Chains A and B, each alone.
Chain A
Amino acid sequence: MASLTTIGNELYTGERSLPIVQKRKLWMAIAAGVLVLLAIGTVLRGGFVFGIEFTGGSEFRVTGLANASTEGAAEAVDAVVPEAEARAVTLGTDTVRVQTDAVTEEQAAEMRSALADVYGVDASEVAFSFIGPSWGADVSQQALRALVVFLVLVSIVLAIYFRTWKMSVAALASLAFDLLVTAGVYGIVGFEVTPAAVIGFLTILGYSLYDTVVVFDKVRENTAPGTSGGLLENINLAVNQTIVRSINTSIVATLPIAAVLFIGALLLGAGTLRDISLALFIGTIVGTWSSIFVAAPVYAQLRQGDTIAEAKEKPARSERGAVV
């Protein structure tokens, strides 16, 4: 794609430039608008849909079927415990999943053999899981703790690395945007929230910041003390210079995620692979957008009125760039 390289060249020299810093209020308004829309949409749709791991229940899976029709499956399970509310769905191409409310072990054993009869397989081929209602809560509680610890540590690391809390704040703002938008997409579409989705969600943390750090590293160089030009112009140039790189890194990061998502959804249906990759897929794409259109505008806004000379730190040796 020579054209992407050409665009890259033009963005690099400044021949072509997106008004990211100049129109920062517009970009921030768009970000806020998206968040509000997602929030309203989530509420209107009826909140998040939680998986069986959060609500508790029993689940049966029959795999490797030539004909994965759900016909008779729910009825067979209902016949054992009528009030268990069996729900049968086809996953991927060869799997049927039946979920019920929590049942006792004896009931589960009966349900398994009932299902085995329906599909003509051995009862041992019917995978069974029981999940107490505290499991998902346990996982999310831990996840929440991980999130808080991570945010605290990472803002310290970023503030030390960039030597300005403003970058740290801007990076966290874009991180928050990524997490909220991903959560919002789950809410508005009604994707099932499972522990695997929570894993994917947490992984967005790492990736989203990765992308923002790459952009801010360039910003830092272009606005290092001793650089000429106005602060905001230099920020804008820096962001424009990293756009092509951002697009390339994002595409490359997204491709394997998309592969996992595709295989997970197509071959296995709902499950670990699909749930992890779906959250990551959304998060990566949103993360690319936000590192350019949220992090940079927020940072520029925070530095509004500052000049480069006001960056009082002495430039470190490495910042002087290469002496070749």
Chain B
Amino acid sequence: MAKARSKGARALIWLAVLIAGLIGVNFSAVQWGGGSWAPQLALDLEGGTQIVLEPVVAEGASVTQEQLDQAVAIIRQRVDASGVSEAEITTQGGRNIVVALPGEPDAATMQRIQASAKMEFRPVLQSAPANPPGAPVPTETPAPAEPAAEPANAWDQAWITPELQAEFAAFQCADIDTTQVAPADEPFITCSTDGSARFILGPVTVEGADIADAQVSAATNSQGQATGGWAVNLELDGEGPAGFEATTRGITGLPEPQNQFAVVLDSTVLMPITSNVIITDGNAQITGGFTQEAAQSLADQLRFGALPIGFQVQSNETISATLGDSQLRAGLLAGLIGLVLVVLYSVFQYRALGLVVVLSLGIAAILTYLVVTFLSSTEGYRLSLAGIAGLVISIGITADSFIVYFERIRDELREGKHLSSALETGWKRAFRTILVSDAVSFLAAVILFLLSVGNVRGFAYTLGITTFIDIVVVALFTHPLLRLLSRTSFFAQGHSWSGLDPQALGAVYRGRAKFREPVLAGRAARSSKEAQRRQTIAERKAAMADASGKED
């Protein structure tokens, strides 16, 4: 008896430790990890825009995780560049990219997000530092256009018409529209990606699609000795090598900046590269005092530019803050109503045990809140409407475990057992049932989570968490609490309001030392006697060993 009590108490202490631990990790997340004490809300509750982008790939081609990650990085840069803060860009289902923005993006941002990254090499015709913002536009009118000679090649200075020159003189880097792809066979004016320099570029000489690979290595000099710097090794295929050879042949040796070609990504110049040598085989080494990081970043961008991947909008959803708010309130209200109904039914059906249900659900709620908040702080989990639906629905499934347990205890009481032994026997069997059925639910949640997109995930996530918490609560709280309660005379003597009144349960045990002959009704009883007669010795032994549990 004392052992049972101490065991019950120990489980409760473990639970307290668990809760304290969860509060602790939450506290540290809030203190040092920039977390918060309330779960973050998804867009459908907070208001905002969610855009799901779907990759457009050539027939039969698939998208690798690496490509997606690079695309996410590019889209993040673009969104950040547009000044939208707190954008959340994630991949989903190994295929789609989800862009979640607070508020509502303007058309330009939308355009920017959707545009596919376009990389190309163009020769530099002229370069100059960027004009300071608001600088006065040069007043002199350009000389009337002379019929310039037709440009002979991509790096021909004849591309620079007086109009172009004038435009260049007044060009503001802020005016660049990265969504407009400049025609490949015409010159155009742009700036470096960081906005520090302006360029007039000639027509495209190498398409990004012709970049086969770009890798970082230690830079070497012409004797093949390491110079201590970093280099990007570029490998071209398709029409790349030919175009690159022609360009390098044409511009190597020209005065700066005409000996440079520009790596253009999304219409801005990633970096101008000086051509020092004629490259005939499409394998070039780009050096220039890179740090390893800068070299890696350039290599990634070159590779990404080579990807035949664009994105199209699969769905675009805007939720106003008002709608989000009303959805949140509706979800919480539904939870409250559901909770009250479950509590009422439990008390109605199980009397005082119903209060155990209430307390257990309370503990489950605390645990769930702490876990969800912690995941929200550390893993960036956001609670969506579907997630709240999962939480509310889990109230019933959690309470079901308690019912499975209570009904088991009642079964044992009907067998005529004392409450304390009924509790232990009932627990052993009920816990096994709870474990396997929760395992099935958990399996369903995990598969849903792994294989699904969108809303399903949030739902599966909360369902999985609560299934797990269900087991913890029933093992560390409900059962230990009942053990302790069974010591009280209210429960031990089966008060008619305890929900465990043997009399009401038609128990065969009728108080101290008064037994009623157990009745197996009908055919079961008859066949049971027959079976006993026919039993072998081994079977009889087995049956005797089984005697205490066979009829439940």
Contact = CB atoms under 8 A, between A and B. Distances in A.
Interface of A: 1-2, 4-6, 8-10, 12-15, 17, 53, 61, 63-64, 94-95, 105, 109, 124-132, 134-135, 138-139, 142-143, 145-146, 149-150, 153-154, 157-158, 161, 195-196, 198-199, 202-203, 205-207, 209-210, 213-214, 217, 221, 224-230, 233-234, 237, 241, 244-245, 248-249, 251-260, 262-264, 267-268, 271-273, 276-277, 280, 315, 318, 320-324
A322 B424 contact: yes
A268 B327 contact: yes
Q: Most chain-A CB neighbours within 10 Å: which of B93, B444, B521, B542?
A: B444
A260 B392 contact: yes
B120 interface: no
A252 B521 contact: no
B455 interface: yes
A276 B315 CA distance: 20
A254 B389 contact: no
B393 A213 contact: no
Interface in B309-363: 312-320, 322-323, 326-327, 330-331, 333-335, 337-339, 341-342, 345-346, 348-349
Question: Range of interface residues on chain B?
Answer: 35 or more
B528 interface: yes
A324 B412 CA distance: 12
Interface in B241-284: none
A95 to B, nearest CB: 8
B79 interface: no
15 contacts: A2-B504, A8-B505, A13-B414, A13-B521, A142-B93, A203-B444, A209-B437, A226-B539, A253-B399, A255-B396, A256-B335, A259-B334, A259-B341, A272-B44, A276-B393
B448 A321 contact: no
Contact of B389 (A53, A130, A158, A272): A272
Given A61-B323, A267-B333, A272-B389, A132 B531 contact: no
B291 interface: no
Given A14-B521, A157-B439, A213-B440, A139 B456 contact: yes
A105 B550 CA distance: 70
Q: Most chain-A CB neighbours within 10 Å: which of B320, B463, B505?
A: B320
Minimum-distance CB pairs A-B, first 8: A321-B549, A256-B338, A14-B521, A322-B425, A206-B444, A259-B338, A253-B396, A9-B506
Given A276-B386, A320-B546, A131 B315 contact: yes
A256 B398 CA distance: 11
A145 B433 contact: no
Contacts of A221: 429, 549, 552
Interface string B462-503: 010000000000000000000000000000000000000000
A169 to B, nearest CB: 16
B258 to A, nearest CB: 42
Given A226-B546, A233-B527, A267-B326, A202 B504 contact: no
B459 interface: yes
B444 A150 contact: yes
A207 B442 CA distance: 10
A156 to B, nearest CB: 10
A8 B447 CA distance: 36
Contacts of B396: 252-257
Dominant SS at the A interface? helix
Contacts of A241: 411, 552
B443 A150 contact: yes
Given A9-B505, A248-B349, A263-B331, 9 more contacts: A8-B410, A63-B320, A131-B314, A157-B440, A226-B542, A230-B523, A249-B400, A273-B385, A324-B425
A12 B314 contact: no
B148 interface: no
A38 B338 CA distance: 30
A196 B386 contact: yes
B107 interface: yes
Given A12-B414, A260-B393, A324-B417, A195 B454 contact: yes
Contacts of A251: 345
A252 B342 contact: yes
B436 A132 contact: no
A320 B505 contact: no
B10 interface: no
B522 interface: yes
B438 to A, nearest CB: 8
A146 B312 CA distance: 25
B524 interface: yes
B133 to A, nearest CB: 30
B456 A138 contact: no
A143 B456 contact: yes
A251 B539 CA distance: 41
Nearest to B47: A127
Given A207-B441, A241-B411, A17 B453 contact: no
Nearest to B418: A324
B532 interface: yes
B539 A142 contact: no
A109 B349 CA distance: 55
Given A145-B451, A153-B443, A262-B334, A249 B404 contact: yes
Contacts of A277: 389, 393
Given A233-B524, A245-B403, A273-B385, A202 B448 contact: yes
B87 interface: no
A1 B395 CA distance: 22
Nearest to B404: A214
A324 B447 contact: no
Contacts of A276: 386, 389, 393, 459
Contacts of B524: 14, 229-230, 233-234, 237
Given A9-B505, A143-B452, A273-B385, A230 B397 contact: no
Contacts of A139: 452-454, 456
Contacts of A280: 393
A129 B318 contact: yes
Contact of A126 (B320, B521, B542): B320
B392 A320 contact: no
B247 to A, nearest CB: 39
A162 B320 CA distance: 51
Q: Most chain-A CB neighbours within 10 Å: which of B312, B385, B546?
A: B546
B513 interface: no
Nearest to A63: B323
Contacts of B96: 138
A199 B454 CA distance: 10
B421 interface: yes
A6 B504 CA distance: 7
A158 B437 CA distance: 10
